[in-house]
């Protein structure tokens, strides 16, 4: 499921949730969110997450939601922690930046 947030005819952001369907992992869902900087601090990210959580709770058997973020993205991390996500692991040097440096990728989970 994907949700787009449109403000005055312009896409301000979007988010999505992907449900797993395998017998062993159908209790898990993955989420992603993006919001243009002009629309930060307006509650849009929080509201989009609330809709994703509602969709997850409506789906039988989903018990946890997962996401990843990269080192240095403190704004995203703050939102994720505010929404109940907790860091569960790290992939060292998982992302190569344009300047050739590497940053860690963090995995987070929220239990429903």
**Domains of the chain by range and CATH?**
2-111 (3.40.630.30)
Within 10 Å of residue 4's Cβ, how many Cβ atoms? 11
The percent of residues above 70 in pLDDT, for the chain, comes to 100
Rounded to an integer, the average pLDDT of 81-99 is: 98
Name the 3-class secondary structure at 99.
coil
* Contact of 49 with 40, CB cutoff 8 Å: no
At residue 74, the pLDDT reads 95
Q: Mind listing the pLDDT tens digit for each residue in 3-55?
A: 999 999 999 999 999 999 999 999 999 999 999 999 999 999 999 999 999 99
At residue 29, the pLDDT reads 98
pLDDT-derived band at 107 (thresholds 50, 70, 90) equals very high
């Amino acid at each position: 499921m994907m949700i787009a947030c449109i403000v005055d005819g312009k896409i301000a952001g979007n988010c999505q949730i992907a449900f797993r369907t395998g017998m062993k992992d159908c209790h898990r869902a993955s989420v992603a969110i993006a919001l243009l900087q002009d629309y930060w601090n307006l509650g849009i990210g929080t509201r989009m997450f609330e809709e994703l959580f509602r969709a997850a709770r409506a789906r039988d058997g989903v018990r946890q939601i997962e996401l990843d973020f990269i080192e240095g993205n403190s704004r995203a991390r703050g939102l994720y922690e505010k929404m109940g996500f907790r860091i569960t692991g790290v992939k060292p040097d998982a992302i190569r930046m344009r300047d050739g440096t590497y940053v860690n990728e963090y995995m987070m989970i929220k239990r429903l």
